[in-house]
Chains A and B, each alone.
Chain A
């Protein structure tokens, strides 16, 4: 799994990724998607809401378990991926692409890891 980790992204220890664009795009890693199993429900914050790095901003539910989604950044939500809300399996199928979750106009970031650092935590 770690072999497919994009080196262009940054990560949280809680398995979110962010890219370096503006606004940033946020998703969850393939490590997380694989561990959860088939994702069947995704709840995301509404567009326009203000989020805080480290705070719970949503939920990801698979057939077997539920996990909270923590925000890797602080800022304002400018877009959520409606395709993922309609078809949560996109997160399993393409976690770094079609399975992105939200876009945020960032004011500050929480602690982020490089791909190498994240891979070391998730061998």
Chain B
């Protein structure tokens, strides 16, 4: 065995490890903790496979308090975000949620984000933990640059994020004692009627909680943004509510294998500053048709570069690879044109693992366009051996509806 047994989950610069408001809960549950993006977070509680399977068949409870929460408020908050991000945020209903990105002027992705609109003049931008600081800095600089009446406030330290994911997620949420409607919120919406990618202000034990039907596992699920001080009570209440529905606490290891099966990009793997949204097959999040009050194209950061990119042939394409052997491709491995010894390198694996649900190895990879056709038989260099793989459509796993 190698001496270094730490799994390859860490992204971002090492720093003093922050602790989740739920740290004591994790320790009490016997979690294996891992350093992740400057945080000490649960890697697993019992078994990666058991936690993964619970989310696919029943429900899993995740602590995502390491994610960055940045509030953007003010009369021109939406107009500012339309200039700062690639998406159309003024077009987002209240309350609603949207997957979007913040890019560099050259179109390279700084981070992928979920933005919640919690009021006419209130947005919550959720950034990856490893990118929290850079997104906060970019938003502040861009806000200062536009001169619009919008305020960027970091709420990460004060906010905990807990997710229930799985086919029984709604059962768990409906059994959650202490969850009540927000008197100021919409009366005709409940967790059961909440649509996918929508959110709803509610109360948990009298304190505000934002409930969103979003997630990162490929399953139905709900995410709860709650004040850090109230997080342990919510966590325990969700475990109690889910006891009859098969809920288990689930760690970052299961989260990564779940999102990979669901074909969802991970910043640092499928996305980075050298990658445009189009490269990752996510050109649909770039709203080139955004216009200003005069009907002229809105000059959001990255617009010119992405407009050019939208109409040019891609240099590489993100594909799914099904492993035909037992050995899994991993992040950074070369993709080859075939298993022949002289086959040229045609791409790079961005994420790979044995798929617990499907029973064979899966990977995402960037390959040259001519090698990207569905059914193409390629190979991956797995530590010196050429393992056969086949190009398959993403996602690898799609939940039954």
A96, CB-defined interface residue at 8 Å: no
CB pair A37–B7 under 8 Å, yes or no, is yes
| Interface flags, B305-344, vs A, CB<8A=1, else 0 | 0000000000000000000001110100000000000000
A34 within 8 Å of B (CB atoms): yes
Q: Which residue of A lies closest to B326 (CB)?
A: A41
Contacts of B48 in A (CB 8 A): 37-38, 62-64
B294 within 8 A of A: no
Asked whether, in the complex, the Cβ of A63 is within 8 Å of the Cβ of B353, the reply is yes
Contacts of B328 in A (CB 8 A): 41, 61, 66
Inside 8 A of A64's CB, which chain B residues have their CB?
Answer: 7-9, 48, 253, 256-257, 353
Judge if A83 is at the interface, Cβ distance under 8 Å.
no
Proximity bits, B47-85, A CB within 8 Å = 1, else 0? 111001000000000000000000000000000000000
The answer to whether A94 has its CB under 8 Å from any CB of chain B is no
Report how many residues on chain A are interfacial, defined by Cβ distance under 8 Å.
26
* Chain B interface size, under 10 / 10 to 19 / 20 to 34 / 35 or more: 20 to 34
Q: Are the C-beta atoms of B354 and A68 separated by less than 8 Å? A: no
CA distance A66 to B354 in the complex (A): 11
Q: In whole angstroms, how far apart are the Cα atoms of A85 and B317 in the complex?
A: 36
Q: Are B327 and A41 interface neighbours, CB within 8 A?
A: yes
Asked whether B1 lies within 8 Å of A68 as measured between CB atoms, the reply is: yes
CA gap between A14 and B4 in the complex, in Å: 9
In the assembled complex, how far is the CB of residue B261 from the closest CB belonging to chain A, in whole angstroms? 11
Is B5 part of the binding interface, using a Cβ–Cβ cutoff of 8 Å? yes
- Is B47's CB under 8 angstroms from A37's CB? yes
Interface: A16 (CB within 8 A) = yes
- Whether a CB of chain A sits under 8 angstroms from the CB of B3 is yes
B356: which of A35, A61, A63 is its contact (CB, 8 Å)? A63
A34/B3 in contact, CB under 8 A: no
Residue in chain B with minimal CB distance to A14: B1
B16 at interface, CB cutoff 8 A: no
Secondary structure dominating the interface of B: loop
- Mask for B13-46, Cβ within 8 A of A = 1, else 0? 0000000000000000000100000000001100
Q: A117 to B14, alpha carbons, bound, how many Å?
A: 30
Neighbouring B residues of A100 by C-beta, 8 Å: none
Interface pair B1/A28, CB less than 8 Å apart:
yes
Cβ of B193 within 8 Å of any chain A Cβ, yes or no, is no
Question: Bound state CA distance, A34 and B328, in angstroms?
Answer: 20
Closest to A29 in B: B1
Please tell me which one of the listed residues B1, B326, B327 contacts residue A15 in the complex, with CB atoms under 8 A apart. B1
Residues from chain B with a CB closer than 8 A to the CB of A119 are none
Task: Give CA–CA (A35, B6) in the complex, Å.
Answer: 7
A41 near B354: Cβ-Cβ < 8 Å: yes
Enumerate chain B residues within 8 angstroms of A16, measured Cβ to Cβ.
1
Given contacts A37-B44, A37-B48, A38-B49, whether A66 and B3 have CB atoms under 8 Å apart is no
- B383 interfacial contact with A, CB 8 Å: yes
A60 to B7, CA, bound (A): 13
Contacts of B44 in A (CB 8 A): 37
User: Are B1's CB and A61's CB within 8 A?
Assistant: no
Instruction: Give the contacts of A88-108 with B (CB-CB under 8 A).
Output: 92
**A59–B1 CA distance with the chains assembled, in angstroms:** 8
Q: For the complex, is A40 an interface residue (Cβ under 8 Å from B)?
A: yes
Which residues of chain A come closer than 8 Å to B8, judged between CB atoms?
64-65
A35 pairs with B2, CB closer than 8 A: no
Chain B residue nearest to A65 in the complex (CB):
B7
Whether A70 sits at the interface, judged by CB under 8 Å, is yes
Q: Which among A15, A59, A64, A92 has the highest number of chain B CB atoms within 10 Å?
A: A64
Interface string of A6-49 (1 = CB under 8 A from B): 00000001111000000000001000101111101100000000
Closest to A43 in B: B327
Contact assessment for B253 and A61 in the assembled complex, using a CB-CB cutoff below 8 Å: no
Within 8 Å by CB of A13, from B3, B6, B256, lies B3
Q: Can you report 18 residue pairs joining A to B where beta carbons are below 8 Å apart?
A: A15-B5, A28-B1, A32-B1, A35-B6, A36-B7, A60-B1, A61-B354, A63-B52, A63-B253, A63-B354, A63-B356, A64-B7, A65-B7, A65-B8, A66-B330, A68-B1, A68-B2, A70-B1
- Beyond the given pairs A61-B327, A61-B354, 20 more chain A to chain B contacts, judged by CB atoms under 8 angstroms and listed by A's residue number, are A15-B1, A28-B1, A32-B5, A35-B6, A37-B47, A38-B47, A41-B327, A41-B328, A59-B383, A61-B328, A62-B7, A62-B48, A63-B48, A63-B253, A64-B7, A64-B48, A64-B257, A67-B1, A67-B5, A70-B2
Residues of chain B whose beta carbon lies under 8 Å from any beta carbon of chain A: 1-3, 5-9, 32, 43-44, 47-49, 52, 253, 256-257, 326-328, 330, 353-354, 356, 383
